[in-house]
Chains A and B, each alone.
Chain A
Amino acid sequence: MNAIIFSALMGVVMMFSGILTQNKSVLKYIAATGLLLLIAANLLNAEAVFSIKVNTHGLISFDRFGLYFNTIAFTATLVYVLLSGSDIGKVGSGLYTADFFALIFFVLCGLSILSSFNGLLMLFLGIEILSIPLYILTGADKRNLKSNEASLKYFLMGSFTTGILLMGIALIYGATGSFAIQAPPIVPSTGMVRASFLEVAGLILLFVSMAFKASAAPFHFWTPDVYDGAPSVFTSFMATIVKAAVFIAFIRLFQGQAVVLGPSWKILVSFVILATLLIGNVTAVFQQSVKRMLAYSSIAQAGFMLFALFSGNDLGKEGILLYTAAYSLATIGIFAVLIKMNDYTLEGFNGLAARQPVLAFVTTVCLMSLAGIPLTAGFFAKYYMLASAVKAGGALWLVVIAIVFAAISVYYYFRVIQAMYFREGEAGTAPISSGFKIMLIIVAALIILTGIWPSLVLSGFYF
């Protein structure tokens, strides 16, 4: 409960601090301090030292997995704020910096609900609390038409999906008379769950709406436009922490409910994985803009994250934690560099290594992590996903196909490395402060450390 309450409180604090000061770096450090408090509060909860008790009548329940996910997500947000916090102040007219930070805290509140909901109603609330601030952040650059377009598109599509979600919840409630997400009892004579048609239909609607939020194909169409149109600094947040939150909710929802769909569950998920990997990877190959490429690559990465849903075992759950950490770190790192670039196209990166060796090196480490090259965190993230699928059995073909797509992903990630290191050019950047460089190096070091010793992230989960 700590995380939910403190994140909402911090949101309010941020809003009011906007009245007191317009100094952007002060606001940034207030936000960072708030995040540190939030992490501390959440850790206290996880260690059962101190937690605020609220009787939710079983609507919310906290488990180790959810709380640990919160810690990772908050830490990633902290890294994000420290790296890109000063760029948040540059979005739009620059008058609403405090409000942007407040919205980020509200998103984190939604995230905390999504990692702990125990009933469909709370799922709905979590999704909405998470989404509505994002619609605003997407349109934050209000004098920019692309930002407006993206925001409107995101809002319309998102509301539509929320409708589907509600419809699904209504159908399930109608069929079972409860909002519970626990697995229904298995009928011993058939070895299956007795599920009415309404319940199955409702569950499929839930699946569709969650797939939409997770930008899994074939419900991914909003992703490239929204990620491309939104101010880069918010894309970075949306593509990483928010997306991971949706995956946690996805897993939480279906770890019990998957049995209702019986054998068709695996077919459904493997179809979505295939489509997501195919569309994400193949389309990313053809992008000339690095930002758009990253948008498609985030679809592709979602394809890998879906393996946790597919296998449904502990290895998958550990994996999604590691994936969240690895993917968030790497993507936040790349976006932090991208924001500083004058030109978002591939050509804009030409010759960056000669002009800004630190930026180029860190981007390389991040890209390698996204590609899943050993010695980076991304390798173990992919490793856990594939291992969980192999362990679940019966899907070796899917794993082999995923591997082929991983190799394709190397193609588009490495094109950026090629541009930075092997091509001549005048990559122009905004002025780079040395604090920013140190922060970037810390990110790269974290990625490599996790790549050599993944227990860095996971050990917290076991103790």
Chain B
Amino acid sequence: MIPVLLILIPLITGLVTCFLKETGLARTWAMLSALATLAVAVTGIYFYSPAQLSFDAAWLPALGSRFTLSLDGMGKMLVLLTAISYPVIFLATNRNNYPKASSFYALMLLTQAGLMGVFVATDALVFYFFWELALIPVYFLCSIWGGEKRIATTFKFFIYTFIGSLLMLIGILYMYFQTADHSFAWKAFYSTALSGGQQAFLFWLFFIAFGIKMPVFPLHTWQPDAYEQSPTATTMVLSGIMVKMGLFGVVRWLIPFFPEAVHQAGHIVIILAVIGMLYASFIAIRQDDLKRLIAYSSIAHIGLMCAALFVGNNIGMEGVMVQMFNHGINVIGLWIVADAIEQQLGTRKLSELGGLAQKAPALAILLVVLAFANIALPLTNAFVGEFLMFNGLFRYNIWIAAVACISIILAAVYTLNMVQKIFYGEPSTATANATDVSGNIRLALVLVVLLVIFLGVYPQPVIDLTKDTVQAVLAVKP
């Protein structure tokens, strides 16, 4: 029953939010809903038996699709990430005044319902439904509350991901007709034997969908614009949680089904991902816009995760699991900082900032911790994940690992450059009257930073949580 609740709470509260006319009420209601989901997620994951974590009901008997949901380790981890992120996001953007706030919060909650559904679905058609359900509210969120170029940008993003989804749909359909009993169940897909040729093209049908969502080079072109133009709360959802849908999809819906194709095409993906890492890092160095910088840095980090997914060893996969969670936390932290700066100073251009450390010491300390996490310094959470992933990559191929490692140096370059330009030097006209962050934003940032340090010192909870998925996925041999 737990997975159903995880979907239903945001779905129903979201629909109710549509009808709340008052901004403050909608805001409080959304926050309460997010906290309720968090409570259900935590109790469900830590106090309930696996049997209670799955659900099965008839849906479309004629098509062979059942409404089955279930939580495995990776699902639990991503559900937790989603459940934790939402209150933090609502907390941090509490001050932002959105026109038609009730619709805004309604769409945010509907997105959460879609995300939860994606992470718990174990029927391909149900998965596809939620995959789209998560996308549609985001389309409206970005197009209504986004920046100047929002309409064109979001449109590009939508069509990009829609093509990907449709290709995946063909893949799902093809798989469906290959299964022995014509079913969409994960198990049925898993136990279907496919020839090498079938695997090869199915691999790409699925991978393009997931690759666009991540996004992995060269399918990433929608991402920087979309992140830049979206309202920050939505950007946090997009980059913190939604990109994980792509990685999740690969682990759940691709690697177990097409082991041979993964083995064959894996190196192409790894090379693309590594190119993307370096490419995005170099572009990030040249960015003047804080949001775009974080966007490109995110592409670089996702690239590493994508590469590590395909190395086919324990360590790399474990690293991805840890990093999926940590990247979500860190990037949301960075967006909170970007939003705080933009809301207060009215600019997010690095060239117009400077000397903020004197004015806002608390913000400076918090951002520096997040920046360290972005470079993956030891004692921050990202170190654990990146270390494991590079280790996995190293075992796969030394040269690829060596090239990929350059991105660490580049990450230090752009991240420290960002810190320097924002906080040091003489205060600019924009920052002359700046004050420190306070209230909700400060609380949200402190929470994020505490998580960063805690998981940096003691990452075992995440590793334990996802152990079963890692073993199950790697047990599949071509």
Contact = CB atoms under 8 A, between A and B. Distances in A.
Given A374-B129, A375-B129, A404-B163, A390 B143 contact: no
Contacts of B436: none
Q: How big is chain A's contact interface, by range? A: 20 to 34
Interface stretch (A9-17, A195-203, A292-300, A395-403): A395-403
B140 A400 contact: no
A391 interface: yes
Contacts of A375: 129, 132-133, 136
Given A407-B166, A414-B155, A462-B62, A386 B140 contact: no
A423 B150 CA distance: 11
Contact of A407 (B60, B61, B159): B159
Interface in B311-363: none
A455 interface: yes
B162 A421 contact: no
Q: Chain A interface mostly helix, strand, loop or mixed?
A: helix
Interface string B123-136: 00000110011001
B62 A458 contact: yes
B173 A390 contact: yes
Interface in B149-178: 150-151, 155, 158-159, 162-163, 166-167, 169-170, 173-174, 176-177
Given A410-B162, A414-B158, A403 B129 contact: no
Interface string B219-240: 0000000000000000000000
Nearest to A387: B173
Contact of B163 (A391, A407, A455): A407
Contact of A455 (B62, B132, B166, B167): B62
Nearest to A459: B62
B144 interface: yes
B177 A422 contact: no
Contacts of A410: 158-159, 162
Nearest to B131: A374
A410 B158 CA distance: 9
B245 to A, nearest CB: 15
Contact of A373 (B60, B62, B132): B132
Given A400-B167, A422-B143, A422-B144, A390 B136 contact: no
A75 interface: no
Contacts of B59: 453
B100 to A, nearest CB: 9
B32 to A, nearest CB: 26
Nearest to A407: B163
Contacts of A407: 159, 162-163, 166
A400 B201 CA distance: 12
A423 B170 CA distance: 34
B419 to A, nearest CB: 36
Given A396-B174, A422-B144, A406 B166 contact: yes
A409 to B, nearest CB: 10
B62 A399 contact: no
Contacts, number: 67
A375 B110 CA distance: 13
A418 B152 CA distance: 10
Contacts of B166: 403, 406-407
Contacts of A387: 173, 176-177
A418 B151 CA distance: 7
B62 A422 contact: no
Q: Chain B interface mostly helix, strand, loop or mixed?
A: helix
Contacts of B129: 374-375
A407 B208 CA distance: 15
A184 interface: no
A403 B167 CA distance: 7
Contact of A421 (B144, B155, B163): B144
B170 A403 contact: yes
Contact of B170 (A391, A400, A421): A400
Nearest to A403: B166
B177 A403 contact: no
A92 interface: no
A383 B128 CA distance: 12
Interface residues of B, number: 27
A398 B224 CA distance: 33
Contacts of B169: 383, 386, 403
A271 interface: no
A411 interface: yes
Interface string A381-393: 0010011001100
Contacts of A373: 132, 136
Interface string B233-252: 00000000000000000000
Contacts of B132: 373-375
B170 A399 contact: yes
Nearest to A389: B173
Interface string B41-60: 00000000000000000011
A454 B144 CA distance: 31
Interface in A421-463: 421-423, 453-455, 458, 462
Interface in A276-321: none
A93 B176 CA distance: 56
A386 B170 contact: yes
A241 B162 CA distance: 29
A25 to B, nearest CB: 32
B151, B159, B166, B174 pick with most chain A CB within 10 angstroms: B166
A412 to B, nearest CB: 11
A264 B170 CA distance: 25
A414 B158 CA distance: 10
A461 to B, nearest CB: 9
Contacts of A411: 155, 159
Nearest to B130: A374
Interface in A318-376: 368, 373-375
B159 A422 contact: no
Interface string B253-271: 0000000000000000000
Given A386-B169, A462-B62, A374 B144 contact: no
Contacts of B158: 410, 414
A402 to B, nearest CB: 9
A429 B72 CA distance: 52
Given A387-B173, A390-B170, A421 B140 contact: yes
Contact of A390 (B128, B144, B174): B174
Given A386-B169, A390-B170, A418-B155, A374 B133 contact: yes
A391 B96 CA distance: 51
A7 to B, nearest CB: 30
A462 B159 CA distance: 36
B130 to A, nearest CB: 9
A383 to B, nearest CB: 8
Contacts of A383: 169, 173
Contacts of A403: 163, 166-167, 169-170
A400 B166 CA distance: 9
Interface string A33-47: 000000000000000
A454 B128 contact: no
A418 B143 contact: yes
A383 B136 CA distance: 18
A310 to B, nearest CB: 15
Contacts of B140: 421
Nearest to B176: A387
A98 to B, nearest CB: 42
A462 B62 CA distance: 10
Given A373-B132, A418-B155, 11 more contacts: A375-B132, A383-B173, A390-B170, A390-B173, A390-B177, A406-B166, A407-B163, A411-B159, A414-B158, A422-B144, A455-B60
10 contacts: A373-B132, A375-B129, A375-B132, A375-B136, A391-B177, A411-B155, A421-B140, A422-B151, A455-B61, A462-B62
Interface of A: 368, 373-375, 383, 386-387, 390-391, 396, 399-400, 403-404, 406-407, 410-411, 414, 418, 421-423, 453-455, 458, 462
6 smallest CB-CB distances across A and B, nearest first, come from: A374-B132, A403-B166, A407-B163, A390-B173, A422-B143, A374-B129
